[in-house]
Structure 1
């Protein structure tokens, strides 16, 4: 086995409308650490991800991020209010749902169709 001595893992998330998606993730509390015309680095909950100005529908609609939250119901309410503003066309949110793996999950689709799992665990993880 190779020991890469890795210190971080960052994923790349697609954006159909790069500017709108940057605004969306900032509205969710993501900290924009760096950006150029085609790539943005966000910090979220102590982790990082890259948002890229690149879009393939099938990829975006199969791309997911899991985000642990304190309260899935409160997150749902906040997201519902944010989306009601009409600022983020194409984004949507579903009421929290109990999942068999021991969590309450509110599903959020970003403006490009990327699925966010806002997860409140029954037991601390």
Structure 2
């Protein structure tokens, strides 16, 4: 028989957390001023320590948005013409890609998928082709 479960998590009210974030901003600003005056090295960047504070420090661009920006979007008819395919099934949603649908063409393997499907694939952190597991983009 298992004993009682004890959780030792300290829960702080949101105003207290915001106050600590404010102190971190003040510390960062003071370090930045000292850095520009040459009195110390550059300050450490402000990064959230856990997920819920991510909205206080918005990222400029995520890795998934960088990948999506570099992958080409074409209409299926032009994709089919260049690849000499007559029909294509999106292996992510398992539905057929029809004429007029937008297809995102991958950089390494040249496989194609619905734009919405591959965007969701990339948004969850996957960086390989769902079909052949090649990297989505060529290496630098």
CA radius of gyration, larger in: 2
What band does the TM-score fall into relative to the shorter chain? under 0.3
TM-score (norm 2): 0.21
- Which structure carries more relative contact order (alpha carbon 8 Å, separation 6+)? 1
The two structures have a TM-score, normalised by structure 1, of 0.23
Bigger helix share: 2
